[in-house]
Structure 1
């Protein structure tokens, strides 16, 4: 039987705002043996895969989540996947809510080139621009444009000067960015938002009328999103090497934080995505990057950029808590997979 080894990578350093991030080491997850390919029978599972499966089925972090699909992979593709329950697979299309933010930010930076981004553009990408949605009405009507979505019938984005320079988690920042860049584009048909996104990311995300809300209106499957994550860790995007740049404190009570839904410990926000971490010996260290959606869709890339992970589920009535539930479950499964020990 093939043995499983671990490859230890060198220090991973992220210099974030205020110089609060230290350097950590990232350990590669075990590579599944040839006797246990993706989708193997239960009897063929390795100890690592069995631990992940047991955690998905019995962990207190995962049992309340009903049906979901979990996947871990690297730059070459999926390594192991768990479809828990029925009705959710790698190809199940669902609204991904705030997971849209990472896609749009990636496409925007790809389009402009990071070196060409103005200060105001960076502030919209890291949610410190002062542009805030006045309501949460989804721009899902056929024929709606990005410009329409920005207006009073839908998002009604306004500029609040007192919030300029402060972190305020809200889709208005990206809506303003899209208004100025792709304002005439629609959700479906000729000159759609997704045509623009897919052309820049090399993805095949499906069109929907709500795509004109680039901070939360996209739909897709784990298989669709996987392509973005793989290209991200394969250094195929401008954003690939910029996951920690222009980041700002984003935790409750953090400096210059006006509003955040982040309920865990310390975190930062970069260009359209969360920067997760943990405190080791008194120093906060990056552990990964993510963009959880309100209906439970959770994409993640580790700090070393050699692993990605997805948890796909679709709660009909979402909220920021659903994204946090998915994050907690997904990370428990990942830990079980890496250690070969089921997590409680």
Structure 2
């Protein structure tokens, strides 16, 4: 994608527009820890300082039908070195606001597992547990958030009660049990916080700084973090620093409703998505064919990370609607892409 008419100044600006704070910046690659601090900003910057592309993104975030019911959120778009533009709607949610990642955890865990093993060393069973065709399913969707709980205990009858269902092996079934079985066999003694925690293991393999939480023993949905934490992971992914970087399409299976071999999927879009190693492969109908457009891992509370199919851009929409959550990952996906289209074209999305 050629970036035209969007030269960045390297300066931060804080713009108030219909209750939305927009931060536009460029040339700010990740620091050594990967979390770039916000520079000092002026609260008096007018919207006239925005480019037509930035203003289109702000207008879309404020008024688009895809965004107006989402509440407060943070959105950003960048590449492997730079955040091109970000905005935060409302108050209380910014790039450094930590929140439950829910199923956005899956991409992180799968990438750490792949980094630790090497793709060439994965067994067929390990691949099936990563692309959700192993037949290991949860008996209950428990949080496993009690202090001191281990990964193996989370797998067991006191929490998720994961068991093998032979009739589902080989079929795509979206469920955290696949990954919980994998983790129980590999890092089962690890707990959510403290010495040798789950995040200690994940951060070691991904060179990230994700925070610890008791829920992290639920590896398919219990991690916490911020847009800034996840940004570092996505930028390293784009820069080919992970084994996952070259395996984004490997072992992908149909994951859309009515697709061949699909037993259960939460995917509600008409797009025919596939599922790879711990993440979705988003496809759109373009020029008469289903075309891969990006990779993502939406969380059920609304956290949405994405990279484009060509690995030139990443995008994050960060929010958390834990109470009364209703298909929040899909809502965030629609809003995030509406803002992105507006930013790239300079035309607000209705």
* Shared fold, TM over 0.5: yes
1:336 lines up with 2:342 in the alignment: yes
SS at structure 1 position matched to 2:102? coil
Asked whether the 8 Å contact 1:295–1:318 carries over to 2, the reply is no
**Which residue of structure 1 aligns with residue 291 of structure 2?**
285
**Which residue of structure 2 aligns with residue 132 of structure 1?**
137
Q: What are the equivalent positions in structure 2 for 1:1-344 lying under 5 Å apart?
A: 27-30=1-4, 32-35=6-9, 37-38=11-12, 39-40=23-24, 41=45, 42-265=47-270, 266-317=272-323, 319=325, 321-344=327-350
Structure 1 residue 329, shift from structure 2 partner? 0.3
Q: What are the superposed Cα offsets for residues 50-107 of structure 1, whole Å, 9 maximum, x if unpaired?
A: 1111100010000000100000010003110011000000000000100000000000
Structure 1 residue 34, shift from structure 2 partner? 3.2
Structure 1 residue 320, shift from structure 2 partner? 5.9
CA distance in 2, matches of 1:325, 1:75: 26
SS at structure 2 position matched to 1:83? strand
RMSD: 1.2
CA distance in 2, matches of 1:127, 1:319: 23
* Cα pair distance change 1:257/1:328, threshold 3 Å: same
Q: TM-score, normalised by structure 1?
A: 0.90
Structure 1 residue ranges without an equivalent (≥5): 1-26
Structure 1 residue 47, shift from structure 2 partner? 1.1
CA distance in 2, matches of 1:285, 1:28: 20
Structure 2 residue ranges without an equivalent (≥5): 13-22, 25-44
SS at structure 2 position matched to 1:65? coil
Count of aligned positions: 318
CA distance in 1, matches of 2:67, 2:242: 33
Q: TM-score, normalised by structure 2?
A: 0.89
Q: Name the structure, 1 or 2, with higher relative contact order (CA <8 Å, separation 6+).
A: 1
CA distance in 1, matches of 2:283, 2:4: 21
CA distance in 2, matches of 1:128, 1:137: 21
SS at structure 2 position matched to 1:199? helix
Structure 1 residue 32, shift from structure 2 partner? 3.4
